[in-house]
Structure 1
């Protein structure tokens, strides 16, 4: 008769998508400008940059409070799906970062505010999908917490202060990476326990830390 207890749940490390693993900046900016234009609102890409990483309804409310946010989201997603827009490429060091997690025997989980299908398409386009074990979409900030907790994520890495909130909500270590619209100081101020300038520094850090 076996006296061993239940097997421990597999440990995972969570990652944000946009400007953390995949460079979607050009596609996001072009899609937002085009969607606003269809609603009769003239904005430039520079106006959109401070909103990188937030839900589309927040972007719409910030730049066009009189516009219908549902209509904006619909038109944005239409433009984002067009094939002629900028392709999604991996952020520098993304593949080696995911390989470092796999080398530690941990799972890779991507949790994003994007639609699930857009997350999958971005990972495929960036040639990272083979290293990802699970995807959760349409979640932002604290709403990411339950998904990360269910995946037993001991850490969550992202470029936005909302990702720090997500990690905290999951009881995970918040790792900020200064590759988006927020610098290291802003990520530290948000409460990140670790801040990296980019993903190139991640594999050595992960190998040294190697889990909770």
Structure 2
């Protein structure tokens, strides 16, 4: 077993209540129509992409991104919970002698706060990468598989030559993940340990 990569938002964690609150606070401070509910229901794209979608003036985006990141630790991290099967999935990789890697589009220092708060067994963390851009980290760490909830996660996995493992705990449907290149799709990470064990056992069979 080698390295297995995981996305963070809506794959390992559910930060949606805090995301709604943080975006609402940012909207209140700036007066811009920032829809926190929509944002939280469609986690995946980087924050600057989302702000553009909301019609935020381009010259204000760096300022708003910085402010959101500053709000984040006190508003989002405390209300975030681990998704079902997240801890067991990470433990399954370690149990089989592998290493775990989180690759996320989230600002890396804030992503690290989640890993610490939830006591996840993560060996390496890389932030600020999205979609095909995630391939660089997956290749660097020699990831054999990447698990995510977003179509861009499947694109990143395939770009790195890794198994693309989808979970439908985020905004994308099973069919959307399959269409984006998923090799296997689960309802949640609760299904992941058994699949990983069976996959590893198959790889150990003579002639495999």
TM-score by length of 1: 0.88
- Looking at structure 1, the residues matched to 115 and 186 of structure 2 have their Cα atoms a distance apart, in angstroms, of 22
User: What is the aligned counterpart of 2:84 among 92, 107, 116?
Assistant: 92
User: What is the aligned counterpart of 2:129 among 130, 135, 139?
Assistant: 139
Structure 1: 4+ residue segments shifted above 6 A: none
More deviation, 22-31/165-174: 22-31
How far is the alpha carbon of 1:86 from its aligned partner? 4.5
In structure 2, the CA distance between the partners of 1:155 and 1:85, relative to structure 1 (3 Å rule), is closer
User: What is the aligned counterpart of 1:35 among 26, 30, 37?
Assistant: 26
TM-score by length of 2: 0.89
| 1:156-198 CA-partner distances (Å, limit 9, x unpaired) | 0001111011101111011111111112121112111111110
More deviation, 24-33/165-174: 24-33
Aligned residues: 201
2:73 pairs with 1:81: yes
2:80 pairs with 1:114: no
More deviation, 91-100/21-30: 21-30
Structure 2 residue ranges without an equivalent (≥5): 204-208
Report the aligned-residue RMSD.
1.9
User: What is the aligned counterpart of 2:169 among 164, 168, 179?
Assistant: 179
- Looking at structure 1, the residues matched to 163 and 4 of structure 2 have their Cα atoms a distance apart, in angstroms, of 10
In structure 2, the CA distance between the partners of 1:139 and 1:84, relative to structure 1 (3 Å rule), is closer
In structure 2, the CA distance between the partners of 1:73 and 1:147, relative to structure 1 (3 Å rule), is same
Structure 1 residue ranges without an equivalent (≥5): 1-9
| 1:83-104 CA-partner distances (Å, limit 9, x unpaired) | 5874222111111111111111
- Corresponding residue for residue 12 of structure 1: 3
How far is the alpha carbon of 1:126 from its aligned partner? 1.5
Higher helix share: 2
